[in-house]
Amino acid sequence: MKRPSSGGGWRAILYTLRKARQSGGLLKMWRAMRTRNACKTCAVGMGGQHGGMVNEAGRFPEVCKKSLQAMAADMQGAIRPEFWSTYALAALRMWTPRQLETSGRLVQPLLYERGQANYRPIDWTEAMERLARGLRGVPADETFWYFSGRSSNEAGFLLQLVARLYGTNNVNNCSYYCHQASGVGLTSSIGSGTATVVLDDLEQADMVFLIGGNPASNHPRLMTNLMHIRRRGGEVVVINPVVETGLVNFRIPSDVRSLLFGSPIASLYVQPHIGGDLALLTGIAKRIDELGAQDHEFLRQHCAGHEQWLEYLRRQEWAEIHRRSGVEPAQINELAEKYAAARNVIFAWTMGITHHAHGVHNVQAIANLALMRGMVGRPHAGLLPIRGHSNIQGIGSVGVTPRLKEVIFQRLQEQFSIELPTTPGRDTLECIEGADRGELKVGFCLGGNLYGSNPDAAFAEQALDKLDLLVHLSTTLNTGHVHGLARQTIILPVLARDEEPQPTTQESMFNYVRLSDGGPRRLDGPRSEVEVIAELAQRLLGDSGPIDWQSMRDTGRIRQAIAQVVPGFEQLATIDQTRQEFQIGGRTFHRPQFGTADGRAVLHCPPLPDLQGAGGQLRLMTVRSEGQFNTVVYEDDDLYRGQERRDVILLHPRDVERLGLRAEQLVTVRSETGSLPRILVRPFESIKPGNALMYYPEANVLVPRHADPLSRTPAFKSVVVTLEAANPAAV
């Protein structure tokens, strides 16, 4: 498949028209996209009260292929009742994520019981009774509660409260497989775990470091900001082992000049080895110190540990930095000189930074580099973790974490006159491991695909299989509904955000709270998440306790509760009247007064990790293609990397030759955890030699359960693999 020379452009527009046609016409799609609801895909934060396709700065139209994909998925027809008797589980297990997703919307509660061949539809009453009975039958700490990041603040807050009053802190969200390292790393450096900037800062910056992310595919609307920086004469420095087409040149569909001629994005593209960022970032800092370009005054006044840190930089040897990063000192010098010359710099990063056993250290190294030149604590400069799911940040803010923030814990107890459990809660990986050891019996999933997102897929399946009861609240079918089935598995169909009967709220990666109006239901059958959770609470915990669960069916009432207990969310109390979306207090640092105890930022001295893999081994990253959203695959081809199928491994041509392989050869890919047979070798000039690329979620069979000890995030981007030529007869 031929690779296009730029991202975005007419292809994106034609795609839009095609999707619209499939969903019942352009007008219908346009109307759906323009309702006042926060966009469903990534956390850049579009939509809300300004109307769909409008960004936080009020700019319109801001549309991307991904939001259309998500919308089209929700606009599908219902899965028909006979589907469940027609297709046995054995058959559905053979289906691809794409086939499952396009089966239609889930509209009936479904039950699978061990020994049966099929799911069968049941009514809501039976489903809720089974669920309440299953939960009542086990000690609370033998259950876990997993949340994805697409549900609302209201649903997230309510369900974590139910879980805790029921008696467990085994409450976690998909962040543990995503940006947890950013939260932990940032909190350790600046005392707050989210972005320090607002969207406007990005508009004003004159340099952006874009590290370990592919926003051309995964956060397309950020590309407009990057284009503007270049047009203003600013710098966009990309650090990525892969040269991603859309980060070199992108055609922004809503900008005529860009659409016709393309917009250069990266002004400097640096390719470290996978996992080489920490050494590279430390090298840039070392060079800044050598150039004397640090802000001495800022370091002295606002940073704890700066003397030790400078000593640590001076101790590092250039040869080691070069070896561990894979980047030549001359290029590190170029990076440092650009950084030294810039005035307002934003550091943005994604999964290439967090999906490592040293993810927190990576984030600390980014914060160090920014602090060194006083780039945190003033306007137009700062730190920006580019978040994943559209409300993943909100889910975390409102208390969906094993351990509640002390102030939330105290206020919840006081406001509601309740006593919350103090037992330690498990993170996501611990829940899977606990299930395998038989310590957990019941799982409850608010959206997402817990099976599909896990490392060591075979292990995850085996662990979930051991549960007595597993419940999913879902909109569409995914691999997690057909693999890893508990003795009793129940699927409850829920409404999407823009079909909710009442308003809900979401939080963007810029700490901006969006109000979504909801809208008319598209199909009979699914229920609102909040309604399902409140009913569960009534059945499980009764109405005689301190919380009137009936009243909690009203999302406005839940907003009142969040406003009372979550710091920075006070304005949620009046949002129903004012309809005023807002910036969460205490998170944007435009002054060098940080969230730490003494208001000073902290410089850490993380050890430089050795690179994984040597000799015949390769370092493998597992990533998203252009046509997927996490475990949901919309299209098999990955346009910008020129791949028309997903069962491939991308290697530098030099590695293909070095390993005695050839293009299109079938190999078995092996790691310490598993193997994948019949994978096609594809030479790929754009990847740094020594490294390899495969697609998630299929490659999860290969990903070990090694997690960053500080954030518990698995090293999804750093898997050591070897390739074995398949039997020539099979080729």
Q: Which residues bind ligand MGD (CB under 6 A)?
A: 41-42, 66, 148-151, 174, 177-178, 211-214, 217-219, 239-242, 244, 274-275, 277, 350-352, 355, 388-389, 446-450, 452-453, 473-476, 478, 494, 496-497, 529, 621-624, 628-632, 696-697, 699-700, 703, 716-717
Residue 203's φ and ψ, nearest 5 degrees, are -65, -25
The residue type found at 173 is N
Angle among Cα 445, 451, 457 to the nearest 5 degrees reads 160
For residue 448, the partner it binds in ligand MGD, Mo ion, none, with Cβ less than 5 to 8 A by kind, is ligand MGD
Choices 6-14, 121-129, 177-185, 544-552 (CB under 5 A): range interacting with Mo ion: 177-185
Q: Which one of Mo ion, ligand MGD, none interacts with residue 449, CB within 5 to 8 A by kind? A: ligand MGD
Residues 6+ apart with CB under 8 A from 322: 283, 328, 329
Closest to ligand MGD by CB, 217 or 505: 217
Q: Which residue is nearest to Mo ion (CB)?
A: 388
* Residue 473 or 534 having the CB closest to ligand MGD: 473
As measured in angstroms, the least distance from the Cβ of 455 to ligand MGD is 7
Dist CA 108 CA 121 (whole Å): 6
Residues 194 and 215: their CA atoms lie apart, in Å, by 18
Least Cβ distance, residue 301 to ligand MGD (angstroms):
31
Instruction: Decide whether 299 or 360 has the Cβ nearer to ligand MGD.
Output: 360
Q: How many helices (H) and strands (E) does the chain have?
A: 30, 28
Residue 87 vs 177, nearer CB to ligand MGD: 177
503 binds, among Mo ion, ligand MGD, none (CB under 5 to 8 A by kind): none
Contact 400, 173 (CB under 8 A): yes
With binding defined as CB under 5 A, does residue 178 bind Mo ion? yes
**H or E segment to which residue 247 belongs:** helix 245-248
Q: Backbone dihedral region of 438: left (phi > 0), alpha (psi from -120 to 50 degrees) or beta?
A: left
Among candidate residues 638, 630, 584, the one with its CA nearest the CA of residue 45: 584
Please say which residue, 72 or 239, places its beta carbon nearer to ligand MGD: 239
Cβ closer to ligand MGD: 155 or 440?
155
Please check whether residue 286 is in contact with residue 36, taking contact to mean a CB–CB distance below 8 angstroms: no
For Mo ion, give the closer residue by CB, 178 or 572. Answer: 178
For residue 696, the partner it binds in Mo ion, ligand MGD, none, with Cβ less than 5 to 8 A by kind, is: ligand MGD
The residue type at 302: H
Nearest CB to Mo ion, comparing residues 9 and 388? 388
Between 331 and 370, how does the x/- string for binding to Mo ion read (CB under 5 A)? ----------------------------------------
Nearest distance, CB of residue 207 and ligand MGD, angstroms: 17
Q: Cβ 220 to ligand MGD, closest distance in Å?
A: 8
Kindly state the smallest distance separating residue 285's Cβ from ligand MGD, in Å.
16
Question: Binding partner of residue 358 among Mo ion, ligand MGD, none, CB under 5 to 8 Å per kind?
Answer: none
Q: What angle do CA 641, 207, 358 make, to 5 degrees?
A: 65
d(CA 243, CA 686): 5
Directed axis angle between helix 529-541 and helix 153-166, to 10°?
A: 10
How many residues are listed for the chain in this entry? Answer: 731
Residue where the block lists tokens 């207090």: 585
CB atoms within 10 A of CB 99: 12
Is the Cβ of residue 328 or residue 543 nearer to ligand MGD in the bound state?
Answer: 328
Q: In 3-state terms, what secondary structure has residue 703?
A: coil
Rounded to a whole number of angstroms, the minimum distance from the CB of residue 237 to ligand MGD is 11
- Residue 504: which H helix or E strand, with range? strand 504-507
Secondary element (H or E) of residue 208? strand 207-211
Give the nearest distance from C-beta 202 to ligand MGD in angstroms.
16
Of 100, 48, 53, 49, give the one whose Cα is nearest residue 79: 100
**Beta-carbon neighbour count of residue 468 at 10 Å?**
17
CB of 542 to ligand MGD, least distance (A): 25
Helices (H), 26-123: 26-34, 65-74, 83-86, 89-92, 97-101
Q: How far is the CB of 603 from ligand MGD (least distance, A)?
A: 21
Q: Which is nearer to Mo ion, 388 or 690 (CB)?
A: 388
Q: Is 296 helix (H, G, I), strand (E, B) or coil?
A: helix
Site pattern 372..391 for Mo ion (x: CB under 5 A): ----------------x---
Residue 517 interacts with which of ligand MGD, Mo ion, none, CB < 5 to 8 Å by class = none
Shortest Å, Cβ 146 to ligand MGD: 7
186 residue type, one letter: L
Closer residue to Mo ion (CB): 388 or 613: 388
User: Which listed option, ligand MGD, Mo ion, none, makes contact with residue 624 (CB within 5 to 8 Å by class)?
Assistant: ligand MGD
- Could you tell which of Mo ion, ligand MGD, none binds residue 350, using a CB distance below 5 to 8 A set by kind? ligand MGD
Element (H, E) at 228: helix 222-231
Q: Which does 494 bind (CB under 5 to 8 A by kind): ligand MGD, Mo ion, none?
A: ligand MGD
Find which of Mo ion, ligand MGD, none residue 717 binds, CB within 5 to 8 Å per kind: ligand MGD
Q: Do the beta carbons of residue 321 and residue 287 sit within 8 Å?
A: no
Three-state SS annotation for 250-290: EECCCCHHHHHHCEECCCEEECCCCCCHHHHHHHHHHHHHH
345 binds, among ligand MGD, Mo ion, none (CB under 5 to 8 A by kind): none
Return the one option of Mo ion, ligand MGD, none that residue 608 interacts with (CB less than 5 to 8 A, by type): none
Size of the site for Mo ion (CB under 5 A): 2
User: Around Cβ 585, how many Cβ atoms within 10 Å?
Assistant: 12
Contacting positions for Mo ion (CB under 5 A): 178, 388
